[in-house]
């Protein structure tokens, strides 16, 4: 049900080429002052809840890998189009974002490398099939053999090498596209907390 909010009109100040609008602050009722000795720590509580959930992370990661492999299998069969490329990109991008939370950071790094290929290769049909296949295989292996290869540092090394090969490829095929070269070379600036 929609909230029954009586909307107070915002204050609007008009300038030569813009307006500054101060909407009513409808959220301030949710702020309260607490005394220092209040023990309740919502962040710690949430971290504990996340830890309680972590028993499911490996299963979730496997299902993400299955989704990635299924999206890739469709491309092997039908080739790239907007839909199949979108499915593969979203599957890889989800692993990129979720893998570290689930305890598989190296899989996330390999997935990021795959995302970069899908985003910056000028012609996906011209990408060597092995380059994509190796990324899919590596992500699956890192998840499947997590206990053995992650501990030995192999997973990290594997994802780094894949990234190096992918970056070399992207630098060559984008040599006439300076905007993409700049994006490929740019570091991430939004650091997760």
Partner 1 sequence: MFRIDFNKLRFLVCDDNPHMRRILRTLLHSFGAREVYEAEDGATALEMYSHYVPDIVIADWQMPIFDGLELAQMIRQPDSKGNPYAPIIMLTGHSEKRRITMARDAGVTEFLAKPISAKGLYLRIMSVVAHPRPFIKTKNYFGPDRRRNTTVAYIGPERRNGGEAEVLQQPSLLDKARVTG
Angle at 181 between CA 158 and CA 159, to 5 degrees: 5
Among 68, 107, 108, 138, contact with partner 1 (rule: CB under 8 A): 108
Q: Does 101 bind partner 1 (CB under 8 A)?
A: yes
Q: Smallest distance from the beta carbon of 81 to partner 1, in angstroms? A: 15
DSSP 147: I
Residues 6+ apart with CB under 8 A from 177: 122
Q: Does 33 bind partner 1 (CB under 8 A)?
A: yes
In terms of CB distance, is 95 or 138 closer to partner 1?
95
Residues 6+ apart with CB under 8 A from 43: none
Among 123, 125, 176, 193, contact with partner 1 (rule: CB under 8 A): 193
Q: Does 18 bind partner 1 (CB under 8 A)?
A: yes
Q: Which of residues 133-172 bind partner 1 (CB under 8 A)?
A: none
CA distance 112 to 24: 41
CA distance 90 to 150: 24
Q: Does 12 bind partner 1 (CB under 8 A)?
A: yes
Q: Does 191 bind partner 1 (CB under 8 A)?
A: yes
């Amino acid at each position: 049900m929609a909230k029954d909010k009586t909307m107070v009109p915002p204050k609007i100040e008009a300038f030569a080429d813009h307006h500054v609008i101060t909407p009513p602050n409808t959220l301030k009722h949710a702020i309260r002052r607490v005394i220092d000795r209040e023990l309740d720590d919502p962040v710690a509580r949430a971290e504990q809840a996340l830890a309680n959930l972590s028993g499911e992370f490996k299963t979730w990661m496997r299902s993400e890998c299955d989704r990635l492999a299924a999206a890739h299998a469709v491309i092997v069969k039908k080739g790239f189009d907007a839909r199949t490329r979108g499915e593969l990109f979203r599957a890889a991008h989800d692993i990129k974002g979720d893998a570290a939370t689930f305890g598989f950071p190296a899989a996330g790094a390999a997935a990021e490398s795959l995302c970069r290929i899908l985003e910056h290769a000028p012609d996906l049909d011209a990408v060597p099939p092995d380059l994509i296949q190796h990324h899919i295989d590596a992500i699956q292996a890192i998840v499947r053999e997590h206990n053995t290869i992650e501990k030995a540092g192999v997973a990290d090394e594997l994802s780094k090498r894949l990234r190096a090969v992918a970056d070399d490829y992207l630098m060559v095929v984008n040599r006439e596209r300076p905007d993409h070269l700049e994006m490929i070379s740019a570091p991430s600036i939004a650091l997760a907390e």
